[in-house]
Amino acid sequence: MIDATKLEFYGLRLPIIEFKTDFNKLLFRYFLEANIDLKNNDVLVITSKYVLKAMGLVVNVSKVHPGFRAKLISRFIGKDPVETQIVLDNSQKVLFFSTVGFLSPYIKDLGKEPEKAKRALKETHKSILFTITKNGFISTDSGLDYSNVPEGYAVVNACDFDKIAQEIRSSLNERFNINIAIVITDTEFTLSNGKFGTLDFAVGSSGINVITREFGSLDLYGRPKFGGIDIVVDEISAAAALLMKQTNEGIPAVLVRGLEYERSEEGVKGLLITGYRKTAKKVIFKIIVLTLLAKIFRIL
């Protein structure tokens, strides 16, 4: 007999949707027709793109008219002016930009089909903008994405996903007389421990504590742990992405069963460092100054 803890992930092939629909009704009907019994403490993970399409929160690209600032930025960094305007409309602040040409030599390592990878790189219009989105996330191009949406439309990461997660959770809990948690995810580029790639992160949640809050808890040897603040909702998002994937799998939701977690109504917003921008600026400035001094005196 294996002494192990079991955690189950079920990929849900929800109906393909193109435009606005009654999302809560769609979920309710799906679970009934698929004969899936939701249980207390289940976690339902849903991609933000599917949520945005279902709620009609998509951008009609043909109706976007670039202003002077967008045209100026696009000319300077080589980005499409309409795309630039969409990014500006859905951001609080532009932090910096980066060209994507540095990826060209590594095309064969990034995609199974080099020609399609080259086309994807070309369609980024040379540069990406790093922004603080309207909902407080640090993101590339404000989460602008054209994949898996109808031609001529796009989605952006600019909604209060915590509120949306709470609404979905309340609806399902009431209809099925249960108590579950909801996590809404999005995919973003990351430099994780020096590794370049993409990961799925939580952009909204309801009913689950977003972090473990075990900083200082004693380890196996009785020492207080410097750490223990795992971002639980991001770990769930990354695990669910193994089933969702990124292209044409058609699995926009995953049901997680068997996870032990603490309940919370806090949501993801409370964890964003952009909410503590003034303090973060002071800390980053201090780190930069001390690092420069250490480099000058060859301490580092």
Note whether 159 and 215 are within 8 A (CB).
no
Give residue 4's pLDDT: 67
Give residue 5's pLDDT: 79
In this structure, the answer to whether residues 89 and 27 fall within a common structural domain is yes
Tokens of 84: 């630039």
Note whether 203 and 67 are within 8 A (CB).
no
In this structure, the answer to whether residues 150 and 194 fall within a common structural domain is yes
Give residue 263's pLDDT: 94
Whether residue 1 lies inside any domain: the answer is no
Residuewise pLDDT in 10s, the chain (300 residues): 566 678 999 999 999 888 889 999 999 999 999 999 999 999 999 999 999 999 988 999 999 999 999 999 999 998 999 999 999 999 999 999 988 877 777 777 777 787 777 777 776 657 899 999 999 999 999 999 988 888 899 999 889 999 999 999 999 999 999 999 999 999 998 887 888 888 999 999 999 999 998 888 888 899 998 888 899 999 999 999 999 976 567 899 999 999 999 999 989 998 888 777 778 778 888 888 889 888 888 888
Task: Please state, in angstroms and rounded to a whole number, the distance separating the CA atoms of residues 12 and 181.
Answer: 16
- Number of domains comprising the chain: 2
Whether residue 121 lies inside any domain: the answer is yes
Give residue 226's pLDDT: 87
pTM of the model: 0.90
In this structure, the answer to whether residues 151 and 232 fall within a common structural domain is yes
Q: Each residue of 273-285: pLDDT tens digit? A: 877 777 877 888 8
In this structure, the answer to whether residues 238 and 117 fall within a common structural domain is yes
Whether residue 119 lies inside any domain: the answer is yes
Whether residue 19 lies inside any domain: the answer is yes
In this structure, the answer to whether residues 43 and 90 fall within a common structural domain is yes
Tokens of 106: 């590594």
In this structure, the answer to whether residues 165 and 55 fall within a common structural domain is yes
Output the CA–CA distances (angstroms, integers) from residue 78 to 31, 82, 97, 127, 155, in the order listed: 46, 12, 11, 6, 21
In this structure, the answer to whether residues 45 and 70 fall within a common structural domain is yes
Q: Each residue of 95-111: pLDDT tens digit? A: 999 888 777 777 777 77
In this structure, the answer to whether residues 239 and 282 fall within a common structural domain is no
Whether residue 3 lies inside any domain: the answer is no
In this structure, the answer to whether residues 144 and 54 fall within a common structural domain is yes
Give residue 284's pLDDT: 81
Whether residue 103 lies inside any domain: the answer is yes
CATH code where residue 31 lies:
3.30.1330.100
In this structure, the answer to whether residues 232 and 288 fall within a common structural domain is no
Give residue 64's pLDDT: 96
Question: Which phi and psi (to 5°) does residue 141 adopt?
Answer: 55, 35
In this structure, the answer to whether residues 136 and 151 fall within a common structural domain is yes
In this structure, the answer to whether residues 96 and 188 fall within a common structural domain is yes
Give residue 109's pLDDT: 77
Task: Please state, in angstroms and rounded to a whole number, the distance separating the CA atoms of residues 131 and 146.
Answer: 18
Whether residue 82 lies inside any domain: the answer is yes
Task: Please state, in angstroms and rounded to a whole number, the distance separating the CA atoms of residues 223 and 37.
Answer: 43
Task: Please state, in angstroms and rounded to a whole number, the distance separating the CA atoms of residues 263 and 14.
Answer: 26
Whether residue 2 lies inside any domain: the answer is no
Range of the domain at 283: 269-300
